[in-house]
């Protein structure tokens, strides 16, 4: 494909000897189109930074290939890859002011002094660091250093921008504002970017596609919407979404008339067999032992539902979080209005077949989402 | 502000004064001695009231030592110049060789790099006298004994490990990402070394250089064995003051004052960098 900006193919990363060292990245493959913003989302230590650093050329690729604009680059030194990077640890040059730090990134592009000034001023306004341009890195806060470091990466005109947790140190309001501006800046210029983050709100807001990582493996690589609606496995299902998906182990049985999900033995969810398409039905019955997941905002409260005891009822100002004891675990519900429920009160719960996510109990791979096969 | 009682302050003042007195006394005493004649120095009981004389310095500078037994030629000024020349060139050479090596050891871990670095350090463990005998032999074969080149070479045993190990630590303290940030912006490996690593480790390099200079300057045994009179540094040259007609305390004191001056001046000048070097922590990412 001609519009592929970056192609990562079967890449492994070992720190230390191959096959014996720390296996930080496991057989990752992904492609990024020109002009796309990709988020690498995952918890701390899952290999996001390692992946980014291999793309930049600071860590050797243990196995696999990386191509930029159709050119294999994984053996080239960083200079020859034409990528820009904002480092997790900022890595500003201590003897230079913030302004010089940002302008320094343009040094090799041989722009005239006035153009450089103009660009720096623009970036500084974008990131709200105009008033610290003449300060030294050691005399500004972590959040300011982080923005300076982000500015140093964004100002460059590279084939690929790698941003490693670029807003982790910022206060929420500023983060929300900058998110919008940065996205606009990147899109306006047609830049291609990989954003590393452990914040799913940030990933959802900025990225065209999200790569969910865990334990060095790529779990799912898709649009934010698909990841939410059709999580590829139990990990993605429970990792993405706030509050997290409710999950219960279940045993499935059924005949021509009814499908029964027995949750933890004591709660039985009965559905009409017709609610499931034949192929879904077949897949479910084949498995028998599964994990059933349902998003908190899809759980419905009905009079004749499965009984559950209210344990928490919290109004958060814009939504209510209810936690209820259910099937030997906890079921969390999200509602838009205040709920007039006392603790200990019994409510009826209904799980629509449309909103059930079913995962294989052994492998965690998704079996079905609602009425469709995964 | 911390509040201290007057008593505590007085006590602290007295304690500090005692410490300073203890360490400064020999230096002050030598300084005073250098302005006295041998007779005044040897009076019992010693006195601090005397009429100062510059004769000791005059003798050193003119190279004519007058003793009761006659006039002796001494090469003190020449020794001093030798010290300066040997120390400066040795340290310079060590810096040229050691700083890039330290950078390599800090940044590129390769098989056996730790062993090589340690071997270099181990040169400092061996008692110099043990090394000297074989070294003298080799130098005679190679025609290097009693040459400046040979001495500077041997001085590398003193300076190079010191510089290598100290500077390596400073390079390791610089976050590699600061360099990566520069390299990724399109700069070569060498440009990064020159423009980022060197300036950031500058204070450390200055400190290591100064320390190496002091060690080189104070070296005695290598020069004693491997060099003849006209190439010897002050440390060895000072032996000339132990004459057949007695020890020339006044001249020795003056010689010490003169030979300490360059190191002292250098240390005072470099103090600024040393302090900066210690606060390099700000660089760590
Ligand atoms: N230089 C290194 N040497 C050894 N192990 C490392 C190194 N860098 C990272 N790791 C390990 O690799 C794994 C992934 O790290 P990293 O890519 O930094 O994760 P993330 O950025 O997702 O938090 C972690 O287990 C970490 O301890
Ligand atoms: Mg990281």
Q: Which CATH number belongs to the domain containing residue B165 in this structure?
A: 1.10.3720.10
Cα A244 to Cα A126, A201, A330, B255, distances in angstroms: 34, 13, 12, 81
CB contact under 8 A, A79 and B177: no
For chains A and B, CB pairs below 8 A equal 64
Residues B181 and B243 in one domain: yes
Residues of B in contact with A57 (CB under 8 A): 184
pLDDT of B219 reads 86
Closest Cα in chain A to B199: A95
Closest Cα in chain A to B185: A105
Residues B60 and B99 in one domain: no
Q: What angle do CA B26, B32, B37 make, to 5 degrees?
A: 120
Give CA–CA dist B100/B203, Å, rounded. 16
Closest Cα to atom 3, ligand 1: which residue? A15
pLDDT of A313 reads 94
pLDDT of B1 reads 52
**Domain ranges, residue B132:** 77-284
Residues B181 and B253 in one domain: yes
Residues in chain A: 374
- Nearest listed ligand to the Cα of residue A40: 1
What are the tens digits of pLDDT across the range A326-364? 998 999 999 999 989 999 999 999 999 999 999 999 999
Residues B277 and B136 in one domain: yes
Residues of A in contact with B186 (CB under 8 A): 79, 82, 107-109
Closest partner CB to B184 (pick from A85, A107, A138): A85
Residues of B in contact with A92 (CB under 8 A): 178, 181
pLDDT of A291 reads 95
Contact A210, A204 (CB under 8 A): yes
Chain B CB within 8 Å of residue A7 CB: no
Residues B19 and B135 in one domain: no
Q: Nearest CA to CA, how far is B200 from chain A (Å)? A: 8
For B230-245, the DSSP string reads GG--HHHHGGGGEETT
Give CA–CA dist A200/A296, Å, rounded. 17
Q: How many domains does chain B have?
A: 2
What are the tens digits of pLDDT across the range A227-263? 999 999 999 999 999 899 999 999 999 888 899 999 9
Does residue B116 belong to any structural domain of this protein?
A: yes
**Region of poorest pLDDT, from A169-178, A238-247, B41-50:** B41-50
Residues B168 and B41 in one domain: no
Does residue B134 belong to any structural domain of this protein?
A: yes
pLDDT at B69 over 70: no
pLDDT of B60 reads 84
Rounded to the nearest angstrom, the distance between the alpha carbon of A30 and the centre of ligand 2 is 19
0.90 surpassed by pTM: no
Does residue B1 belong to any structural domain of this protein?
A: no
What confidence category does residue B262 fall into, taking pLDDT thresholds of 50, 70 and 90?
A: confident
Residues B235 and B124 in one domain: yes
> Among the three residues B73, B99, B124, which one is the final residue of a domain in this structure?
B73
Closest Cα to atom 6, ligand 1: which residue? A15
Residues of A in contact with B188 (CB under 8 A): 79
Residues B43 and B155 in one domain: no
Does residue B103 belong to any structural domain of this protein?
A: yes
pLDDT of A1 reads 47
Give CA–CA dist A53/B87, Å, rounded. 44
Rounded to the nearest angstrom, the distance between the alpha carbon of A164 and the centre of ligand 1 is 13
Closest partner CB to A87 (pick from B181, B200, B283): B181
Chain B CB within 8 Å of residue A105 CB: yes
Q: Which long-range contacts (CB under 8 A, 24 or more apart) does A312-319 make?
A: A312/A343, A313/A339, A313/A341, A313/A342, A313/A343, A315/A339
Does residue B35 belong to any structural domain of this protein?
A: yes
Contact A267, A327 (CB under 8 A): yes
CB contact under 8 A, B185 and A104: yes
In this prediction, does ipTM exceed 0.85? no
Residues B69 and B81 in one domain: no
The two three-digit tokens of residue A158, written as one number: 């590279």
Give CA–CA dist B228/B234, Å, rounded. 12
Does residue B171 belong to any structural domain of this protein?
A: yes
What are the tens digits of pLDDT across the range B174-220? 889 999 999 888 888 898 999 899 998 888 898 899 889 988 998 88
Rounded to the nearest angstrom, the distance between the alpha carbon of A162 and the centre of ligand 2 is 12
> Among the three residues B34, B56, B73, which one is the final residue of a domain in this structure?
B73
What confidence category does residue A35 fall into, taking pLDDT thresholds of 50, 70 and 90?
A: very high
Give CA–CA dist A331/A344, Å, rounded. 14
> Among the three residues B28, B49, B73, which one is the final residue of a domain in this structure?
B73
Residues B259 and B271 in one domain: yes
What are the tens digits of pLDDT across the range A48-69? 999 999 999 999 999 999 999 9
CB contact under 8 A, A108 and B183: no
What is the sign, positive or negative, of the torsion defined by CA atoms of B151, B154, B157, B160?
A: positive
CB contact under 8 A, A78 and B178: no
- A370 Cβ inside 6 Å of ligand 1: no
For B205-274, the DSSP string reads HHHHHHHHHHHHHH--HHHHHH--GGG--HHHHGGGGEETTEE-HHHHHHHHHHHHHHHHHHHHHHHHHH
Does residue B208 belong to any structural domain of this protein?
A: yes
Residues B86 and B66 in one domain: no
pLDDT of A362 reads 93
Best of A13, A24, A48, A239 for a ligand 1 pocket test (most atoms within 8 Å of beta carbon): A24
Mean model confidence pLDDT for chain A: 93
CB contact under 8 A, B283 and A94: yes
* Residue A283 φ/ψ, nearest 5 degrees: -60, -40
Does residue B160 belong to any structural domain of this protein?
A: yes
Give CA–CA dist A292/B137, Å, rounded. 85
- The percent of residues in chain A predicted with pLDDT above 90, rounded, is 84
Closest partner CB to A91 (pick from B178, B187, B199): B178
Residues B135 and B222 in one domain: yes
**Which residues are CB-neighbours of B260 under 8 A, at least 6 positions away?**
none
Instruction: Return the exposure string of A18-49: e unless at least 16 CB atoms fall within 10 Å of the residue's CB, then b.
Output: eeeeebbbbebebbbebebbbbbbbeeebbbb
Give CA–CA dist B100/B95, Å, rounded. 8
Domains along chain A with CATH numbers: 4-230 (3.40.50.300), 246-373 (2.40.50.140)
If contacts are CB pairs under 8 Å, which of residues 80-99 in chain A contact chain B? Answer: 81-85, 87, 89-95
């Amino acid at each position: 494909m001609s519009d592929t900006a970056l192609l990562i193919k079967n890449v492994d990363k070992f720190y230390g000897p191959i096959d014996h060292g720390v296996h930080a990245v496991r057989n990752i493959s992904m492609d990024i189109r020109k002009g796309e913003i990709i988020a690498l989302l995952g918890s701390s230590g899952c290999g996001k930074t390692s992946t980014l650093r291999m793309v930049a050329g600071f860590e050797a690729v243990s196995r696999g290939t990386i191509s930029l604009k159709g050119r294999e680059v994984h053996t080239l030194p960083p200079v020859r890859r034409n990528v820009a990077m904002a480092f997790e640890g900022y890595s500003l040059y201590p003897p230079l002011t913030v302004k010089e730090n940002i302008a320094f990134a343009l040094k090799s592009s041989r722009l005239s002094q006035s153009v450089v000034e103009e660009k720096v001023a623009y970036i500084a306004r974008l990131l709200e660091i105009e008033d610290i341009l003449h300060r030294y890195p050691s005399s500004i806060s972590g959040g300011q250093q982080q923005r300076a470091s982000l500015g140093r990466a964004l100002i460059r005109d590279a084939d690929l921008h790698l941003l490693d947790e670029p807003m982790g140190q910022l206060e929420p309001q500023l983060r929300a504002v900058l998110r919008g501006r940065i996205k606009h800046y990147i899109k306006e210029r047609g830049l291609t970017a990989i954003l590393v983050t452990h914040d799913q709100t940030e990933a959802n807001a900025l990225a065209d596609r999200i790569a969910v990582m865990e334990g060095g493996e790529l779990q799912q690589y898709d649009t934010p919407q698909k990841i939410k609606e059709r999580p590829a496995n139990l990990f993605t299902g429970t990792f993405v979404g706030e509050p997290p998906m409710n999950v219960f182990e279940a045993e499935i049985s059924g005949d021509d008339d009814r499908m029964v999900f027995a949750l933890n033995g004591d709660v039985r969810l009965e559905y009409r067999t017709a609610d499931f398409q034949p192929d879904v039905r077949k897949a479910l019955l084949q498995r028998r032992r599964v994990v059933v997941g349902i998003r908190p905002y899809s759980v419905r409260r009905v009079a004749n539902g499965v009984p559950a005891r209210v344990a928490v009822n919290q109004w958060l100002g814009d939504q209510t979080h209810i936690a209820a004891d259910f099937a030997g675990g906890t079921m969390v519900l999200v509602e838009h209005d205040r709920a007039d429920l006392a603790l200990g009160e019994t409510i009826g719960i209904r799980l629509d077949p449309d909103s059930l996510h079913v995962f294989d109990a052994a492998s965690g791979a998704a079996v079905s989402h609602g009425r469709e096969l995964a | 502000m911390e509040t201290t009682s007057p008593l505590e302050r007085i006590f602290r003042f007295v304690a500090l004064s005692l410490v300073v007195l203890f360490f400064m006394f020999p230096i002050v005493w030598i300084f005073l001695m250098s302005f006295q004649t041998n007779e005044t120095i040897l009076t019992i009981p010693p006195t601090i009231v005397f009429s100062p004389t510059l004769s000791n310095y005059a003798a050193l500078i003119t190279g004519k030592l007058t003793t009761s037994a006659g006039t002796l030629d001494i090469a003190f000024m020449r020794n001093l110049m030798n010290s300066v020349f040997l120390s400066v060139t040795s340290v310079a050479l060590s810096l040229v060789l050691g700083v890039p090596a330290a950078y390599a050891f800090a940044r590129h871990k390769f098989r056996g790099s730790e062993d090589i670095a340690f071997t270099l350090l181990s040169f400092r463990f061996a008692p110099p006298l043990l090394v000297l005998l074989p070294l003298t032999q080799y130098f005679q074969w190679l025609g290097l004994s009693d040459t400046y080149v040979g001495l500077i070479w041997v001085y590398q045993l003193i300076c190079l490990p010191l510089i290598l190990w100290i500077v390596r630590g400073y390079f390791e303290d610089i976050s590699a990402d600061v360099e990566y940030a520069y390299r990724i912006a399109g700069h070569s490996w060498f440009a990064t070394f020159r423009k980022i690593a060197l300036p950031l480790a500058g204070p450390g390099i200055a400190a290591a250089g100064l320390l190496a200079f002091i060690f080189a300057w104070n070296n005695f045994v290598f020069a004693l064995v491997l060099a003849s009179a006209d190439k010897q540094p002050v440390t060895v040259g000072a032996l000339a003051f132990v004459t057949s007609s007695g020890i020339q305390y006044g001249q020795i004191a003056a010689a010490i004052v003169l030979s300490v001056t360059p190191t002292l001046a250098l240390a005072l000048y470099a103090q600024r960098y040393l302090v900066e070097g210690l606060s390099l922590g700000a660089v760590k990412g």
